[in-house]
Structure 1
């Protein structure tokens, strides 16, 4: 069966720093689609994040690039297999230079935290009890 993929493209200030940040979170880099202007971060078999310097990013849009320190252009949410894995990923992000958002979402059946990467892109990490979503 065909697995649809998502390629998230984000403008970054420093490709090398962003590459290091996401590597420290435990993600791999696909060198085939990486260069001095961009890096290809493999989140999973179906989720790829392309981090592009602003010049390269502007090759794909005529729109002004959002200042992610002031404007929310997207909320990215990753699933986690447990509450502990939520905390682990957010803690890795902070250790790698990211910023944790203080608000923890704990609704019992769902647990989430969020962080901002080096360029202030918002990343949410959420665990949901599989029993709560069974129909």
Structure 2
């Protein structure tokens, strides 16, 4: 079995602010799957996306309460090509309204930092160097 692509569905409060936030971090959206109720954030075109869905529409997909940004529902990790990219993305996120929920960590072979986006979703930005594994 192999997944053709992955869609991480997350509830959001404000489409305009969310679009602006992720655009400032350097990401784009698949407009074919975006409208006034949802945005399709392209994390890796053809492979990984995040559907950022208004609370009203999101609630139509589940019979459970929607996380309100004060609980941890999932940790989403994005791997990038360098430590510098980790630092740059987290810096941009914090400058554009994200909050820090923990400090960065350096495990020699893996370096990561984290932020919570405008709706409290937790993102970890990671750089790994398997040649440093001991």
> Shared topology, TM-score over 0.5?
yes
Q: 1:87: how far off? A: 0.3
Give the TM-score of the pair, scaled to structure 2: 0.92
Q: 1:60: how far off? A: 0.9
Corresponding residue for residue 68 of structure 2: 67
- Distance in 2 between residues matched to 1:130 and 1:47, nearest whole Å: 23
Where does structure 2 lack aligned partners over 5 or more consecutive residues?
none
| Structure 1 counterpart SS, 2:7 | strand
Runs ≥4 residues deviating over 3 A: none
- Distance in 2 between residues matched to 1:63 and 1:52, nearest whole Å: 15
Aligned CA-pair RMSD: 1.6
Q: 1:102: how far off? A: 4.3
Corresponding residue for residue 25 of structure 1: 25
- Distance in 1 between residues matched to 2:132 and 2:61, nearest whole Å: 40
Report how many aligned residue pairs link the two structures: 132
Give the TM-score of the pair, scaled to structure 1: 0.91
Where does structure 1 lack aligned partners over 5 or more consecutive residues?
none
Q: 1:129: how far off? A: 0.7
